[in-house]
Amino acid sequence: MFQVDWWLVAVVIILIAGFVAFVIFRVIRTYKRPATTGKEDLKGKTALVNDQLSPEGTVVYQGEIWNAISKSGPVASGEEVTITDLEGLKLSVIKKAKE
């Protein structure tokens, strides 16, 4: 009669349980990470003013030209601003604080 050793069954069960636990851990960790694209990724990033914001104009962020509106008054061309929000395809920005 054919018989399987108990230690072989135990090793296989432990390996399968370890693999399942690893997969569950990675899935949970992926869901907890912050968004890296879209509206959430833009907030808090720095952009460069392309055309003066008084209060509307354009800014350059990662090589892309965006329409923007300044929430902190006029901002001259060449100055840095911080992105606070995205409304449609228009960025809301504030003048970057001097460090």
- Distance between CA atoms of 4 and 27, rounded to whole angstroms? 34
What pLDDT does 41 receive? 80
What pLDDT does 66 receive? 94
Report CA torsion sign: 56, 58, 61, 66.
positive
pLDDT over 90 percentage in the chain = 69
What pLDDT does 14 receive? 98
Whether the full predicted model's pTM is greater than 0.75, yes or no, is no
- Average pLDDT over every residue of 46-74: 93
Question: CB 97: neighbour CB atoms within 10 A?
Answer: 8
- Distance between CA atoms of 86 and 72, rounded to whole angstroms? 16
Residue keyed to tokens 């808090």: 44
The predicted-structure confidence for 3-23, as pLDDT tens digits, reads as follows 889 999 999 999 999 999 999
- Distance between CA atoms of 72 and 89, rounded to whole angstroms? 19
Q: For the chain, list the domains and their CATH numbers.
A: 1-33 (no CATH), 39-95 (2.40.50.140)
Q: Are 68 and 90 in contact (CB under 8 A)?
A: yes
What pLDDT does 6 receive? 93
**Short-list 98, 9, 99, 93, CA closest to 45:** 93
